[in-house]
Every structure is written in structure tokens, then in C-alpha cells.
A and B are shown apart, each in its own frame.
Chain A
Amino acid sequence: MNIIETKDLNLHYGEFQALKNINLDVSANEITALIGPSGCGKSTYLRTLNRMNDLVHGVKIDGSVRYRGEDIYAKDVDVTVLRKRIGMVFQKPNPFPMSIYDNVAYGPKLHQKMSRSAMNDLVEQSLRKAALWDEAKDRLKKSAMSLSGGQQQRLCIARALSVSPDVLLMDEPTSALDPASTAKIEELMGQLKQEYSVVIVTHNMQQAARISDRTAFFLTGDLVESGPTADVFSRPQDQRTENYITGRFG
């Protein structure tokens, strides 16, 4: 089942066209990897899915992005609800300057009033899903800044999960982390896809090959090729894809 469907999507930053006629679907309970060299539009595409590009001045978008059949760019769409359904994890861990507990509770507080005990449960649940509970349970009131980089990134994942999203967008979530932390997050993503649909932008092709079910290759704003990861990596249809994945450029 397709959870997100993109049709004829074009995006301009002023005069510059960053995305050209993109047609791409995201399937439920799968990991979709977006690969391509820097500036190819993969992060820009990711940010159209939860309308983070709305925050950038001078962005113009046409075409359609549908989430569970609904046009997310329709006039009556409430972006706060959209972003609750489609969560995001960023390249650099960006915990808020508050306690670990408050970081996870921040999103739920935004959307609904909850009792103290319900909030405690939700925080624990979210930290467990992000595989951080055991490391954090004794220091929930400590500043999130006291965590290591890898722990901070898992905290950001817990924070994104706390508002019970449906889709998780990850923008190069491991590029600022060491190999051990990267391995933890990759393993975590494997678990997360049971419950969520994940779209991940990555610079690391081995990572895309290891963890994703489907892969889409972007180049200078075009979607060159997309399909099951095994096919894209072993039998690329397009010469440019082959050149990129074999390391001839990028």
C-alpha cells in the first residue's frame, strides 16, 4: 500500500528549479532510501513531505503530494496536524536545551493535555522504542545536552515517535555519528518499520543497500530511477545510476 504518493512535483527556490517532475511513492511499513550526490534535491524532496519547505522564503511548489489519499498542500490542511502524522529526524542531533524527559514530552504537550502518569508512560514508551530507555531511565531530569551524539540522535527519534506519527522522515540521521552509534540507529530503523513507514536520505550507499527496501536515485533535481533496493543496486536501469553506485562520481 502506498502511504505517500507524489505526482509531477516541481519545486523552485526563486528562479532555481530544485525538483523536476518527481513521481515517487512511499510504501507502508517499508524503508525508502533517497540517494544521490550533494545538491541533487533528495533533502528538498524529503522536506516537501512534511511541508518544512514552507519555512523557506521564496519556495514555489506545484504538482501533488498525497498522504493517505489527501493532498497535503490543500488549503484547508493544518500543517501542525500534518507534521504530527509525518515526523522528522534531522542530520545533526538537535535536542532542545531542556531535560531528557521534557524533550520527549515537548511534542505531546503541544497537541493535548495529559495526566502526569499518562505522560510518564508515554515518555517511557517513546524512549523504549528509540532504544534509549535503559541508558536514560536514571537521568531523565538531566539535560539532554549531557548525552553523547548517538544518544542525542536516538532521543530525537524518541521525540519524533512521542506524537505517534505514521511516517518518519530521516535526513541523513547518521552522518554526524560514529560507526557504533550508526549501527545502533540502523538496527533501530529495522525495528521501526514494523510500525512506521520510514523515508531516509543518505549519503552512504552501503547504508541504503543494507537497510532499505526501496531506493530512489536523485540527480540534479531529477528522479533518475527508483525501485526495490536489490534491483537498483544489482541491475540499475540507467547508466547514471550505475556510475553513481559504483563510485564513478558523487
Chain B
Amino acid sequence: MTTLTPATGSALKGGLSAKRRAYSIGLRTAMYACVAIAVSVLVGIIGFVLYQGLGHITWELLSTQRSALRNTIGILPNILSTLYIVITTLLIAIPIGIGAAIYLCEYASNRKVVRLVEFTIEILAGIPSIIYGLVGFLFFVLNLGMRPSILVGSLTLSILVLPVIVRTTQEALRTVPHSYREGAFALGGTRWYIIRTIILPSSLDGIIGGTILAVGRMVGESAALLFTAGVGFTLVTNYFTALHTPGASLTVSLFLYITEHGNRDVGFAIAAILLIIVLTLNLLIKLVRRKFRKI
């Protein structure tokens, strides 16, 4: 008969050999190191950008436009361009994305078609964003003859964020228990009435969370906008005029200030602003989820 305890002495002590104990400690140390590296790189980047950038954010920078005559720099046009792009993209992508998700989850009865569409969406989500920019440029600018502008940039960005919106909305809809649908059908409810009164309200937190996630993607996107939204730096306050005017988003202007002007300070200031926006959006997602979960 074999026994797990030493033949003599305590039954509870001296279980593992010294070699195995060292191995175990070594592995644990290695894993701590991995975590430390991952966290410190992240914190390091955030800290570095904020340290380099925060000092250069001034009211003048935020509230004026660039003037070659006075040799001053202001990023208000770029802030507005980003805002316009986000709004326009949401207006295009939200109805289409949520509509598609509702169709896939609630209406489509052919499982094969649903799987095919979902597979396509997966693929769309994995395409590098510069390719969206290229295709957007080829299609909207070269084929349709539009000029690079906020509208063309937003159209391109809509395609880019559509997978995010469709997938997060689908996930949100799937969390609604099937029993709600059955209960409402059994009362004589029609499908759209049930979607409107029960399914959408109870999946709202997930849909809002997905939308904020998509806004984060939009704010942070540069490659897809470089070709399509153009590189305008002039201030256009009218939204409808801006739609047809080229405008560099914050990310694109960051790229241009560093590469064309060699202005490191402004580059880091913009980087810090972008970082703050994205961190705030992430915080917002958490808050939305928590607020709705209380009900």
C-alpha cells in the first residue's frame, strides 16, 4: 500500500519535496512579474503622456484656431471636427447597428443566414482600420466624386464601428430572458410591441455601454480618417457647413503636428486630451452599467 504521508513523523508537514516547492515558488514569481510588467507599462504610458502633455494644455490652445500670421496654435477646429465626426457617425451607425442586431436576435428565423451575417461582422471587426480609410477614399471620393470632409469621414467610420454596435447590442438583447418574450406573446403581444416595451428597455444598459465603447473607437481612430475626413485646420462652427468641409480630427492633427511641424508640445497636449476623453468614456460605461443594474 502506498501512502501520501511520510512513514514517520507528522502527517501534516513536509508534503512537497524541496525541488517541487522551489518550482512552485519560481512559477509564482514569474507570474507576478508578468502582471507587474503589464500594469507598469500601462500606467507608465498614461503617466508619461499626462506628464508631458498636461502642462501644455492652455485655454488659448483649446479655444482658438491656428494662425500662421500670429504664429499661434489652437486646436478648437480639431476638437469640433472630432465632435462632429462622433455625432454624425452615431446618427448613421446607431440606427443601422441596433436595427441589424434586433433583426438578427428577434426576427431572423433562418439560423444559417444569421450565422453567415455574424461571421461577416466578425471579419469586418478584424480588418485594419487603414483599409477602411482606403476603401472609403476609393468609393466616396474617387467613385462618387465627394471631397474629403467630415461627412465622408463619418460614413467611413460608421462602417468601422458598425460591428462594435451590432455585437454589443446583440449581447445586450440576448441577456433579456426568453420568458419575458413568452409572457408577452401569451398576452397577445405583437413582436414589435414586445421589443419596444420590454426588450429594448431591459437591454438599454448594454446598448448604451456598447455605444459609448463605439464613441471611444471613433475618438481614437486616425487611420480611417486620414484619407477621408481631410486635414482642414480652419474653424467652422456651423455643423452643416462643416459636414462638407475637410477637418482634421484630434488624432489626425496629433499626427500632423508631430510629423509636419515637429511640435512635440502640442502633440503631447492633444495626446493627453485624447487619453482623458477615452478614460472618461470607460468610466462612463461602468457608471451606466451600475446605475441600470440597481433596478
Contact = CB atoms under 8 A, between A and B. Distances in A.
B295 interface: yes
A125 B43 CA distance: 62
Interface of B: 109, 111, 177, 179-180, 182-190, 193, 197-198, 201-202, 295
A106 B295 contact: no
A84 B180 contact: no
B282 to A, nearest CB: 27
A88 B189 CA distance: 13
- The SS class assigned to the B binding surface is helix
B183 A83 contact: no
Given A55-B185, A83-B187, A88-B186, 9 more contacts: A55-B182, A57-B109, A57-B111, A83-B188, A90-B179, A94-B183, A106-B184, A106-B187, A159-B183
Interface of A: 50, 52, 55, 57, 79-84, 87-88, 90, 92, 94-97, 106-107, 110-111, 143, 156, 159-160, 163
A50 B180 CA distance: 17
A97 B197 CA distance: 10
B182 A52 contact: yes
B187 A90 contact: no
In order of increasing CB-CB distance, the 9 nearest A-B pairs are A94-B179, A88-B186, A80-B188, A107-B187, A83-B188, A84-B188, A94-B183, A97-B202, A57-B109
Nearest to B111: A57
Contacts of A50: 186
B188 A81 contact: yes
A45 to B, nearest CB: 16
Given A94-B177, A106-B197, A83 B186 contact: yes
A90 B180 contact: no
Nearest to A79: B188
B111 to A, nearest CB: 8
A84 B182 contact: no
A81 B188 CA distance: 6
Given A52-B182, A90-B182, A143-B295, A96 B188 contact: no
Nearest to A54: B185
A80 B190 CA distance: 7
24 contacts: A50-B186, A52-B185, A55-B185, A57-B111, A80-B188, A83-B185, A83-B186, A83-B188, A87-B186, A90-B179, A90-B182, A90-B183, A94-B177, A94-B179, A96-B198, A97-B198, A106-B184, A107-B187, A143-B295, A156-B183, A159-B183, A159-B187, A163-B187, A163-B188
Given A57-B109, A94-B177, A94-B179, A110 B189 contact: yes
A11 B203 CA distance: 34
B186 A96 contact: no
Nearest to A169: B186
Contacts of B197: 106
A240 B179 CA distance: 34
B20 to A, nearest CB: 49
* Most interface-central of A50, A80, A94, A107 (chain B CB within 10 A): A94
Nearest to B176: A97
A52 B202 contact: no
B284 to A, nearest CB: 23
Contacts of A94: 177, 179-180, 182-183
Given A57-B109, A106-B197, A143-B295, A96 B183 contact: yes
A110 B182 contact: no
B295 A84 contact: no
